[in-house]
Structure 1
Amino acid sequence: MAGEVVYLFRAEAASSDPFATRLQAAGYHPLVLPVLSVVWRNTAHLQAALAHPEVYGGLIFTSPRAVEAVRRLGTPPAAWRWRRVYVVGPRTAAAARAMGWTPQGEEAGSGLALARLILQEPWPSRPLLFLCGERRRSELPEQLRTAGFPLEELVVYETRPATPVLPAGASAPDWVVFFSPSGWEAARSLPIKWKQVRVAAIGPTTAAALQEKGVAVMAVARTPTPEGLLAAIQEATSLS
Structure 2
Amino acid sequence: MSSQKKIRVILLKNRTVPIDKYESECESKSFEPVFIPLIKHTHITQDFRNVLNSAPNYLNSINYIIITSQRTVESLNESIIPKLTKEQKATLFSKTVYTVGPATAAFIKRSGFTNVKGGEEAGNGSILADIIINDLTVGVETQSSNELLFLVGEIRRDIIPKKLSSKGIKVREVVTYKTEDLDDNFTRFVHAAKPNDDDEKFSNWVVVFSPQGTKGITQYLYTENHSSDSKKLRIASIGPTTKKYLDSNNITSDVVSPKPDPRSLLDAIELYEHHS
TM-score class, shorter-chain normalisation, is: 0.7 to 0.9
Q: Which residue of 2 aligns with 1:62?
A: 68
Q: Which residue of 2 aligns with 1:22?
A: 25
Distance 2:16 2:216 in 1: 14
Distance 2:50 2:31 in 1: 47
Instruction: In structure 2, give the amino acid aligned to 1:45.
Output: D
Distance 1:136 1:112 in 2: 13
Q: Which residue of 2 aligns with 1:209?
A: 245
Give the CA deviation at 1:179: 2.1
Q: TM-score, length-normalised on structure 2?
A: 0.75
For the pair 1:87 / 2:70, whether they are aligned, the reply is no
Distance 1:37 1:189 in 2: 21
Q: Which residue of 2 aligns with 1:47?
A: 49
Segments of structure 2 that go 5 or more residues without pairing to the other structure are: 137-141, 226-231
User: Is the 8 Å Cα contact of residues 222 and 250 (structure 2) preserved in structure 1?
Assistant: no
Instruction: In structure 2, give the amino acid aligned to 1:175.
Output: W
The one-character-per-residue Cα deviations of 1:163-207 (angstroms, maximum 9, x if unpaired) are 332369874672100122214236347699532322112223332
- Select which of 119, 142, 148 maps to 2:133: 119
Moved more, 68-77 or 166-175: 166-175
> How do residues 1-240 of structure 1 correspond to structure 2 at under 5 angstroms?
1=1, 3-12=6-15, 17-41=20-44, 43-50=45-52, 52-71=58-77, 72-75=79-82, 76=84, 77=88, 78-101=90-113, 102-107=115-120, 108-122=122-136, 123=142, 124-162=144-182, 163-164=184-185, 165=188, 166=191, 171=196, 174-185=204-215, 187-188=217-218, 194-195=224-225, 196-238=232-274
Whichever of the two has the greater Rg, that structure is: 2
Instruction: In structure 1, give the amino acid aligned to 2:117.
Output: Q
Alignment size in residue pairs: 239
Q: Specify whether residues 150 and 5 from structure 1 end up closer, same or farther in structure 2 by C-alpha distance, changes over 3 A only.
A: same
The CA RMSD measured in Å over matched residues stands at 2.9
Distance 1:185 1:143 in 2: 29
Q: Specify whether residues 151 and 15 from structure 1 end up closer, same or farther in structure 2 by C-alpha distance, changes over 3 A only.
A: closer
Q: TM-score, length-normalised on structure 1?
A: 0.85
